[in-house]
Every structure is written in C-alpha cells, then in structure tokens.
Structure 1
Amino acid sequence: MTSTDAATLASEVLDKAVPARPISSGGDHRSWWIGKHHVLRWTPDPSTSQRLQREIALRRWLPQHLHAPVPTAVADGTWHGHRWVLDERLPGHDLDEGPFTARTHTDLVQLLSDLAHCAVTDVTAMGVPTRSLPDLPQLLEAGLAAHRALGIERPLTPPATTDVSGHGGKHAPVLVHADVKSEHLLVDATGQLSGVLDWSDAAVGEVSLDVEGLVITVGAQKATQIAHQADIPATALKRGVLLARCHTAMRLDALLNRAEPSGPELLLRRQHDLAWN
C-alpha cells in the first residue's frame, strides 16, 4: 500500500478527500496520518493481518475494563488480502515529549491494576496468545556477558532479582500490553494518560513483561514505585527490572560490538541508563 492508496481508501471510508502522510514502515505494519484526526494501519503479510484482526477485537473489549483510552476503529477491512484499520487519532504527545507529573504516575498505577483485573478467559477466547518469560538463568548469563563486552561492571543480582531460577515465586498470568514504551503512551499537557496505543503484542503472561517496558520508559526507580502501588508482587517486579537490565545491555552490545541492527544507538543508551536509574 502506497500513500496514494492509503489516501484513496481513507477518503472512500470518510466520504471526503483526505491526505495521507506516512508515519512508519516496517515488517510489523505500515501507518499513515490521515488528515488531522485519523490514523490508518495496514499489515503487509498474513501473520500480521491475523494479529491486527485480534487487536481490533481486543480494543473493542478494553474500554469496559481500562480507565485509559485506547484507539477506536472507525472502520476496518481487507486490502489486497491483508487487514487494515482506520482509527480515530487520540490527543496528546508521546510520554517522552510530554510532562511526567503526579497524574502520569497515578494513571500508570491504574493501568497496571486494570490489566491485572482483566478476565484472562475473555481475552484468550479472542485469540490473545500466552507468552512465557525467557529462561532467566540463561538471560542473566547473557546480560552479564553483554555488560562485560561493554566494559561495564554491574551486579545484576539483588536488588534486581530475588529468584532467577524461574521456578519459584510464579504468579497468576494476567493480560499484558507487552510493548510498553514512550511512543505507545500518550499524555496531555497535565500529564494525564490520554491514550495507550498498539495492542498488537498483547498477551497473557507475567506482569513483569510490562514492568520491563515501564523501566525502559520512566526509569527503574519510578517503575518500581508504580508497580509497588499497583500491588504487583515483589518477585514479578524484580524480574521486570532484571529483564530490562539484561535486554538493554544485550541490544546495546549487539549494535556496538557485533554491528547487529538492534535499534538507534542514542535510544539504546538511554534505555540502558533508565534501567539503572
């Protein structure tokens, strides 16, 4: 789908001529700003089409269970055999660009709490998959190796984790967004959470997966406070910090020492710093 195709499709749906401006293009999906008030997403292959169809169903269900807004679909369908969705554009700015206030903190506590109380049976019936934690002892070993390769000597064990075995302290699975990051969290001028975007990776798993995302978004200290106030079990909280510290080091090592394209260097450095602050 080209920008011209996107504009034509959206114009037909909205019954008026609207321009399309590319947002991003990648293996997961392609996105366009449609005028000032809408966003069009299209998936280029069958597997991501299925994920988008599942996401649309989940987003229709979520408003009854979350305080935070999620995108609302104006229309959806298929184009050349692959799924598309036209969403209303939510107001606000990426969390990196907006203020982090006491209201932001409170809203993120509420988000974690709301997700923990979503009925797992309901979302699995929609096809939301389960997601397991990585092998934690192996992850710890890889994280330590990455830190050594980066010339950083930092202990990843306490207070980062109390149980890296993965066998103790297991917790009931919950609905997790599983891709928490600044660009998926919108805030208004007061810091109020005005939208939670991109639910394509949503899964049923341990809440530590979302704690990890919070850590690389707002920092380990703030994320720990937020998770604690949301009544996240201490072991899951600490595992989330461990995930963030290991994964950020591994991605940075892959980019700097093996020339593997794991993300922009400035972003990776910032996320790694946040995992320790």
Structure 2
Amino acid sequence: MLADLGSRSGLWTDRTQPTTVARGSENTTFAVGGFIVRRTVDVDALTREVALLEALAGETSIPVPVPLVHRSDLGVLVYRALGGEPLLGRPDLIGPAVEGPLVDVLGALRRIRPDPPLVVDDHPNDAWLAGARQDFETARSHLGPERAAAVAQFLDQPPPPAGPVLVPQHNDLGAEHILVDDRGRVSGVIDWSDAARTEPARDIGRLLRDLGPAIALAVAAGLDGQSTAEERLRMTFHARCTWLEDLAYGLADPAGRSAYLANAERVFGHVFGHA
C-alpha cells in the first residue's frame, strides 16, 4: 500500500523504506522518507481531522501537519514531517519559551470560522475517575507505598463538577505531541486526531502534568485570564487521571514506551503535590 501510494503521489519511490512510528488499535503511523503516513479505521474521524488541519494552518504561526494526501477509501492521511523532537524525550528543554506558542495554536483553534467539524467530547468526570481507578490497579505494583497512598487518596475523593463551557481542544496535548528545536522553541504541534469540543481543563491538565503548573497556568491565563480555584481543581484532576493513564500505557510495553515511564517518574511530585 505504501509503495503504491508513494508512486501515485510522487512523494517517495517504491524503494523508500518505511519505519513504523506508532501502532494502536485504530491508528498506525509510518515515517516514509520525509513524510508521515497515518492509516486509521475511523475514516469519518480522519475526514474531520483533515478539514480541521487545513483550516488551522491558516490561523496560526505554529506549524501543524498540513495534509498532502487524503484517501478516505484507504483511511490514509499523508503530511510532511515537521522539524524538531517531542518534548516527551527532552524534558531539559521545557521552559517558558513554549507558553506563547501554545497560547497561539490553542487560541487559533478557537478562532476558526466557520466552526471546525469537531465532535463533542463530554465524557463525564466520574467516568474519568473510574478509568483512573482501573489504571491504578494496573500500576499499583509499580508504585512504592508512599506514592500508592497519595494516588489512592486522590482516587477516594469525588471528582470535580464538569466545566460549564466547551471549546475546541487538541484533547491530547501531552509532551509527546509538542515538538521543539534544540533551543526549546516550539516547532510544531502534532496528532490532532482526538480534537473535540470539550472543557479547557483537558488540554491544560495535560500541560500541567508534563510541563508543570507554572507553564500550564500561564497558558490558561493567556487563553482565558487567571484561573479560578474551581478551574485549577479541574486541571489538577485531569492531570492526575491522565498521569495514571500514561503510566498504565507505558507499563503495557516498558521497552517500547520507556519515555512515558520516565516522564511519569519525573512529574509525579508536581502532579500529586499541586492543588
């Protein structure tokens, strides 16, 4: 399929060797030459993503994937690989330089008119908490007694109420999807396949988890002004739930997902110490 796609598009030859970047239950991503090829079983979601990316590219100065080939019959999207490397593997480059670009791209996502074709993700917080409890059971043996107790204390508390406003969100804005150059400047934001209309705490919570509360709250302020105590509670809730989610994800393939395990270890203190 990849050789034929390259031949028809003229982007690579049949001698160009692909490399598998990621493989999941619904998506498989390949690097072929200087291009990224993603194949998915959800062709409707892919069509929405293509429309979003085409609109977003004209609204932000931050590089995002620009569709070059979209084959709905194959469930395939091709775009030129963006420069830089994921912050997930370069925590030494995390710093205030990322704040402005993240405000830029998330603000641009909200400015798109007409409204982008996004689904509504209103997954309730009690369901998030139930999922986090399952992830904790998976990961409990990996945690020492003190950390396990801190996580269990969080899981024993009721979830915060859902936010009153739904806005367009990347909806998976972890450090693995933020690319930076060797000076820590944002060179791209990738993987918009989960983009949806949902509450702002989703994106900010993941930023809190991976980049720390100072950067997360600065991005939130750049978008919506200073956060209230209730908003910070929701951000922290999502940071903790997605910390458990990423830890369980890493433990499912420790050799292939070691960066997720290293990140979970690095950020535990501010995720479960911040309120």
TM-score, length of structure 2 as denominator length: 0.76
Structure 1 position 244 matched with structure 2 position 236? no
Residue type matched to 1:195 in 2? Answer: G
Q: Structure 1: give runs of 5+ residues left out of the alignment.
A: none
Residue type matched to 1:103 in 2? Answer: A
Q: What CA RMSD, in Å, does the superposition of the two structures yield over aligned residues?
A: 3.6
C-alpha distance in 2, partners of 1:190/1:138? Answer: 36
C-alpha contact (below 8 Å) 2:160/2:233 kept by paired residues? no
Partner of 1:94: 86
CA displacement, residues 131-174 of structure 1 (integer Å, 9 cap, x when unaligned): 1143349829966x949x653343649xxx9x94416xx33211
> Residue 61 and residue 268 in structure 1: after superposition, are their counterparts in 2 closer, same or farther (change >3 A)?
same
Q: Structure 2: give runs of 5+ residues left out of the alignment.
A: none
Structure 1 position 134 matched with structure 2 position 124? yes
Structure 1 position 73 matched with structure 2 position 67? yes
C-alpha contact (below 8 Å) 2:95/2:215 kept by paired residues? no
Shift of 1:247: 3.8
Kindly report which structure 2 residues correspond to 1:29-44, keeping only aligned pairs within 5 A, or say none.
29-35=27-33, 37-43=34-40
Shift of 1:217: 2.0
Partner of 1:54: 48
Greater helix percent: which structure? 2
Partner of 2:107: 113
- May I ask how many residue pairs the two structures share in their alignment? 254
Residue type matched to 1:75 in 2? Answer: V
Residue type matched to 1:14 in 2? Answer: G
Kindly report which structure 2 residues correspond to 1:174-213, keeping only aligned pairs within 5 A, or say none.
174-213=167-206
